[in-house]
Amino acid sequence: MDVSSHKVVVCGGGGFIGGHLVKQLLHDGVDVIRTVDIKPRNEWYQVHPGVENITADLKDLEACKRAVKGADLVFNLAADMGGMGFIENNKALCMLSVLINTHLLMAAKDAKIKRFFFASSACVYNGEKQTNPNVVALKESDAYPALAEDGYGWEKLFSERMCRHFEEDFGLQTRVARFHNVYGPDGTWTGGREKAPAAVCRKVIEAKISGKHEIEIWGTGEQTRSFMYVDDCVKGTRMIMESDIHEPINLGSSELVSINQLVDIAEQFAGIQLKRRYNLNAPRGVNGRNSDNTLILDRLGWEPSTRLVDGLRKTYDWIESQVEAHACV
């Protein structure tokens, strides 16, 4: 299946990943007829001309029906979420995102949408498999027996099942990717919803500017993660949408690093070394999480390959420009 021969709707198009996805699809000549996001237009990370850009709450069924009207394909990246600080302190809000996917699936079924993509998360994985920083990379079957991240992870896991059953019961073709820690420019870098790469870059930049060479790190700093650059995420999202993969599949980098190593890289960019203060009471998530890419390599012959040092350099430079711009306001 070729996305470029169909009319596309991107839900969550005003968000970080959604904005990059729309940009790339348009660049590739795809007919993106509509993007939808709950945020006011002036808060969208990217707004693209030539597209019907709608502000709407997709937890509402009627809004979902309007969103998918006239489309062939739906990318659902809409969710109320953020970094670990937001997820751990807003479990109910994260769970309410189940209304978005449920109502979009109902609307897509009625509109006879040809294919539906759902952006899931590595937070669906069983927490007992993520207790060691030297984690064994998580393969798709490790989501069961279920013990997902409380709130956000359970919503994603439930919505994965909803996609499966809409395909089984109603014939709606669905595709599901489990995103692993996406980062890059043109995203959240302050305010409480930012994820670790953006937060670390901002803290290092602020420490350099202020001359107070200290940084607070949530947890011990030994927690490990893999971080996927947004360009890889966008490429993989399209490939999975176009594929014949019917079950949830990992979409993430397999380059495992600790949070301390993440800080090391940002310090190198800044040319400084910071005193590290570890806040053991702050949200820190699981001790270790990495993506097993065996399945995506087997099915697509591809995996995310942008090195963290390269993607973080672009992210750091962009955040530095944002910090400087805000300082001038």
Nearest to 299 by CA among 255, 254, 242: 242
User: With contact defined as beta carbons under 8 Å apart, do 34 and 9 qualify?
Assistant: yes
**β-bridge mates for residue 216, sequence order:** 277
Place of tokens 């594929």: 243
User: With contact defined as beta carbons under 8 Å apart, do 153 and 289 qualify?
Assistant: no
Beta strands per DSSP E along 106-203 = 115-121, 174-179, 182-183
Q: Is 152 an annotated catalytic residue?
A: yes
User: With contact defined as beta carbons under 8 Å apart, do 77 and 15 qualify?
Assistant: yes
The catalytic residue among 125, 152, 183, 316 is: 152
Q: What is the rounded distance in angstroms from the CA atom of residue 193 to the CA atom of residue 73?
A: 29
Query: Angle, nearest 10°, between helix axes 98-110 and 61-68?
Result: 50
Nearest to 316 by CA among 281, 279, 277, 265: 265
Active site residues: 152
